[in-house]
């Protein structure tokens, strides 16, 4: 007996996103680990999952991909629009290392933080707050780059006055020859940025859903809150905001290249991201599973090999 047979009348009814096909998600997760990179018909021909044997490998490989992308744009004499996540984070240390080792200035880069904690009205945490994503990005990336860093007037954060201007500014940069590169992680409920699966219920078509560029004060799914309690707030759920400002598919699906990361393990055989990874790769594009659209774009998705499973219960 499992969730598929016990859902009716249980506490889980109405908790998981209403549009999820649970049998389909379960089937996505039932494949052997070695088949995780088997191509699907909807994958972009230049989309590639990249397994990483350890967290160290993951951080270095993803950091190198970011740094190399920045260097290529500079060598081509082109501006670069980067959508930046705060999670995963370990790759930024290595991106900084490679850029400083190569002496690559980032004054051609325009950085757009993909989201930020907020209240229901879109009012964000102060930039100095230890939990603020702006604080994290300044500390992990912009600050350590020192004299090679992205100019302050080219750093965009998802505040209520700036987020609505992301899409037009990115469009202007593309008109100037810039590529849009979206760096991302995958949420427990398969969100990209904080674009949650339950938002799909508000739209009458996939095209309408795809056109949404952002949302202020987005209401987060309970599993998103609990994921962040475990990964960022030392289990203290009461400190996790229930809302966030976020880009939408009208931005992240415009990517010319994607750099994704899935490193959601806790050690001792524990993890939270295996189902999310498999569903992203195998479900097929569906607004109720926002991350399912990412394989339709060119780029790389780095993941810890451990997440491939097998996703079977263990009692240790």
**How many of the other CB atoms lie within 10 Å of CB of 41?**
5
**Reported confidence tier of residue 269, pLDDT bands at 50, 70, 90:** confident
- Mean pLDDT confidence for 101-118: 98
- The pLDDT assigned to 313 comes to 87
- Mean pLDDT confidence for 36-63: 98
Q: Is the pLDDT of residue 6 over 60?
A: no
- The pLDDT assigned to 239 comes to 93
Q: Is the pLDDT of residue 55 over 80?
A: yes
Burial of residue 235 (CB within 10 Å: 0-12, 13-18, 19+) is: exposed
- The pLDDT assigned to 267 comes to 86
d(CA 114, CA 156): 9
- CA nearest neighbour of 228 among 253, 264, 198: 264
Q: Is the pLDDT of residue 230 over 80?
A: yes
- The pLDDT assigned to 65 comes to 98
Q: Are 63 and 50 in contact (CB under 8 A)?
A: no
Q: What is the pTM of this model?
A: 0.96
Q: Is the pLDDT of residue 11 over 80?
A: no
Q: Is the pLDDT of residue 2 over 90?
A: no
- The pLDDT assigned to 1 comes to 47
**Reported confidence tier of residue 314, pLDDT bands at 50, 70, 90:** confident
What mean pLDDT value characterizes the chain?
A: 95
- The pLDDT assigned to 143 comes to 98
pLDDT digits (tens, 9 = 90+) for 152-199: 999 999 999 999 999 999 999 999 999 999 999 999 999 999 999 999
- Mean pLDDT confidence for 71-81: 98
HEC secondary structure over the chain:
CCHHHHCCCCCCCCCCCCCCCHHHHHHHCCCCHHHCCCCCCCCCCCEEEEEECCHHHHHHHHHHHHHHHHHHHHHCCCCEEEEECCCCCCHHHHHHHHHHHHCCCCCCEEEEECEEEECCCCCECCCCCCCCHHHHHHHHHHCCCHHHCCCHHHEECCCCCCHHHHHHHHHHHHHCCCEEEEEEECCCCCCECCECHHHHHHCCCHHHHHCCCEEEEEECCHHHHHHHHHHCCCCCHHHCCCEEEEECHHHHCCCCEEEEEECCEEECCEECCHHHHHHHHHCCCECCEHHHHHHHCCEEEEEEHHHHCCCCCCCC
Q: Is the pLDDT of residue 114 over 70?
A: yes
- Mean pLDDT confidence for 116-145: 95
- Mean pLDDT confidence for 52-73: 98
- The pLDDT assigned to 9 comes to 56
Q: Are 228 and 191 in contact (CB under 8 A)?
A: no
What residues does 186 pair with on adjacent strands? none
Angle, helices 55-75 vs 91-102, to 10°: value is 40
Q: Is the pLDDT of residue 247 over 70?
A: yes
- Mean pLDDT confidence for 263-279: 94
d(CA 80, CA 72): 10
């Amino acid at each position: 007996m499992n969730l598929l047979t016990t859902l009716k009348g249980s506490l889980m009814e109405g908790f998981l996103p209403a549009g999820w096909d649970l049998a389909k998600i379960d089937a996505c997760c039932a494949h052997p680990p070695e088949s995780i990179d088997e191509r699907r018909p909807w994958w972009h021909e230049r989309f590639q999952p990249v397994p990483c044997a350890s967290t160290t490998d993951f951080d270095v490989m993803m950091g190198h991909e970011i740094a190399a992308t920045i260097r290529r744009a500079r060598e081509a004499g082109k501006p670069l629009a980067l959508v930046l996540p705060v999670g995963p984070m370990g790759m930024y240390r290595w991106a900084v290392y490679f850029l400083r080792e190569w002496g690559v200035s980032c004054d051609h880069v325009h950085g757009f933080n993909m989201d930020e904690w907020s209240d229901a009205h879109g009012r964000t945490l102060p930039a100095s707050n230890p939990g603020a994503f702006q604080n994290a990005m300044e500390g992990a990336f912009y600050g350590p780059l020192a004299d090679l860093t992205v100019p302050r007037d080219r750093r965009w954060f998802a505040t209520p006055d700036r987020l609505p201007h992301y899409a037009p500014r990115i469009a202007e940069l593309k008109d100037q020859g810039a590529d849009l590169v979206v760096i991302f992680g995958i949420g427990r409920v398969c969100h990209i940025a904080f674009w949650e699966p339950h938002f799909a219920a508000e739209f009458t078509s996939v095209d309408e859903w795809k056109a949404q560029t952002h949302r202020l004060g987005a209401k987060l799914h309970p599993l998103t809150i609990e994921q962040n309690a475990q990964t960022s707030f030392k289990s203290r759920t009461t400190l996790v905001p229930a809302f966030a400002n976020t880009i939408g598919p009208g931005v992240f699906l415009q990517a010319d290249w994607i750099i994704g990361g899935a490193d959601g393990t806790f050690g001792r055989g524990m993890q939270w991201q295996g189902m999310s990874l498999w569903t992203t790769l195998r479900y097929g594009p569906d607004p109720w599973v926002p991350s399912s659209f990412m394989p339709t774009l060119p780029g790389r998705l780095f993941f810890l090999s451990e997440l491939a499973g097998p996703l079977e219960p263990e009692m240790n």
